[in-house]
Structure 1
C-alpha cells in the first residue's frame, strides 16, 4: 500500500509539472474563450493563406502545360517573380492603398510601409496574418495576366507590369469593395474576389494581349485562327487540380475565422460550382465538337471556381451548382469569341476564365443571393449594384492597364523580336532550356 501511495504521488507531481510547463494551461494563465477563438482564427487564416500561395504553383503548371516547351522556363520565372515582387510592393504600398483610411471612398491614404496599426479594420486576428492573407490574393491577380501574354512578352516589361498592378491597380479596386470604399458602402457583394481579384487580372490580361498582338503563326493572312497546342496537357491538368485544391483556402479562408460555421457551406458551394462547371463544359463541347474537349473542360472547372467566388457565402448549394454550370457553357463561347471574332490570342484562356466568368459570377449574386437576390424575392437593387460594380472595375482596370501597357510599349517595348519568339523565350530571355537534353520536334512554318 505504501508503494502504491508513493507511485501515485510521483505521477501527480509529474503531471502537475507538465501542466505548469504548457502555456495557457499553467496556473494563473487561465485561457479564455476569446483568446482561444483568436488563436483558431489566426491558424485558420494562415493555413488558408498557405493554400492560396500554393495556387501560384497551379497557375504556373496550367500556363506551362498549355503553352510550348520552348517557353516553359520563362513562364516559371514570371510566376516566381510576380509573386516575389508583388509581396514586397504590396507590403510597402498596396496594403495601405487597399485598407488605409480614406475620405472619399476611393483609396487609402494612411499606413504606408505598415506604419499604422490599422485598428479601424476591427480585425479579430493579428495584423501580420491578415497582411499575408491579402498578399497572396494580390499575387493571384498579378499572375493571371502572364498566361494571356505568354510566349511573346519581354521579361523586364512583365516585371514592371507586376509591380504596378500590385502597387496601385489591384489595391484601388480592393479598397472600393473590401476596404471601406464606395462600392462596399453601396452594398456590393464580392465575398472572395470574383471581381476584386479575378476580373482585375482578366481585364488587365485582355488589354495586354490586345496591345502585344498574337503569337507568330496564330492567324493566317485571311484571319483564320490556327491552333497552337500546348506541350503537356498532363501538366496543365495537374495545375487545375492544384488550383481547385487551393480554392478551399481562397473562398472559405475569406471568413478569416475558423470558428465561423459558414466555412462548411462555402467549401461545399465552391466544390459544387467547380464540378458543375467541368461537367457542363464536357457535355457542351461533346455536343458542339462531337468529342469532349480536354483543355476546355479543364478550364470549365476553373470557370466554375471563378464564378462562385463572389457569391460562395450568399447563395445556396443549388444556386452554386447553377452558377458553375452556366459558367461552364460561357467559357466555351467566350474562348471562341475572343479567339475567332476579336482575334485576340490568349494561349491559356485567362481572359475568359478570369475576366468574363469573374464578372458573370459577380452579377449572378444579384440573382441567386438567398438574401436580396432577384430570384429570391429581393428585387433588383442588389443586381443593379453588382452591375455597377462590375462596370466600374472594368473601366478602371481597362483604362489604367491601357496607360501602363501603352507606356511600356512605347519605351521598353512589350514584345520580343520575331527571331527570339520562334527560337523560344527560354533561350532568348534566360539563356537556358527547360528541357535540356531532350530533342524538340522541329516547329512548323512561322511557329
Structure 2
C-alpha cells in the first residue's frame, strides 16, 4: 500500500520544509540587500501571490491526482498515448531537477556543517581544527558533503510518515524558534535599527524598476521550488479530504514567513557588522561578498560579539543546517519514490543506492570544482527547472482539461465552484503564469 501523510500539519511542515532552504535564508536577504531593501520586499510579496502560489496549487493538484511519482502523475493527465508520452518526457526532465540540485546543494550544506563544527572547536579552544574547518579545502568539502548525505538518507529511508513527516514536524518549529532567538538578540545590538529601516521601509521610486521586479520574480519562483518536483511529489501523498488551495496557501505563508524572518535577522545583522567595522557595501552601494555572506560577513560579526558571539554562531549554523536538511530530503524523495514504485524495490535499499550514487556525483564536482560547480547550478536552476515549471503549467492548464481539474480540486473544497478563486485561477494558470515563467527563463538566460 502506498504511504501518505498522516495529517494536514505533517504535509504542511514537509512541504514548507521542502520550500524553505538556503534560498530563503541566504538568497532572499542578499537579494533584498542588493535591490533596495524594502522595495524588493514589497515586490517579492506581490509576486509570490501572483506567480508562485497559483503554480504551487497546480503542482500539488497534479501530484494528488496521480497518486504516484512525478513521471506517472503527469502521464495520468494525458488522454491519448501521444499526450502521455509528451507528459512523461516532461516528468523525466522534472525528476532531473531535484537530483541535479542535490548534487551541488549537498556540497554547500557540507560547508555549513563544517562551519557549525568550527563554532564548537573554537569554543573548545582547538584553533588548528577551527582553521581547517573554515578553510576551503578538498577533504573538508568531501567529508562535509558525505555527512550531509548520510543525514538525508537516514530520514528518507525511514519512509513518508516515520521519516519525512516526523522529522519535518520537529525541525520546522525548531527553525522558527531559533530564528526568533537570533532576531531578539540582534535587535539589542547597535546598528540593528538602521538595518530594519533599510529592510522594512520601501523606496517606492524603486519598486517598479524592471531589474528589481525580475529579480523578485525569480526569487519568488525558486523560493517555492516551482518546477522542482518536490511539491508534486508531496502532493501525491496528500489526502483527498484536504483542500489543495487552502493547504498550498498555508505552505506559501510559511515559506514567505521564513524568508521575511531571515531578512529580519540578516539585514540588521549586516548593519550591526558595519557598525563593528566589517565592510558590507561597495562605494557604489552594491553588496560585497553576496555569494559568501554566510561564510565571511556573518562569522566576522559573531567574532566581534565576544563570548556571546560563539553561541549566536552555533544557533545560526544549526538553523542553516535544518533549512538545508528539510529541503534535501524532499530532493532525494523524488527519485526514491520513482524507483520504489517502478521497480518494486524496498525504500531503504533505494534510498541508500540513489543517495550514494548522487553523493558520488557530488564528489566528482568537488574534485573538479572550478569546472563543474557553477555549470551544474546553471543547468539545474537556470535551464531545466524553469522549463519544467512551464511544462507543468501547460500540461495542467491545457492538457488536463478544466472539467477533470475541477473534479480533483473540488475534493476537500466543496464550495470551490462558487468561489472567486475558481473563476480566476484556471484562466490565470493557462495564460498569465506561462508568460511570467517565460520572463523568469529570459532573465535566467
Greater fraction of residues in helix: 2
The normalised TM-score by structure 2 is 0.30
- If asked which structure has higher relative contact order (CA below 8 Å, sep 6+), I would say 2
The normalised TM-score by structure 1 is 0.30
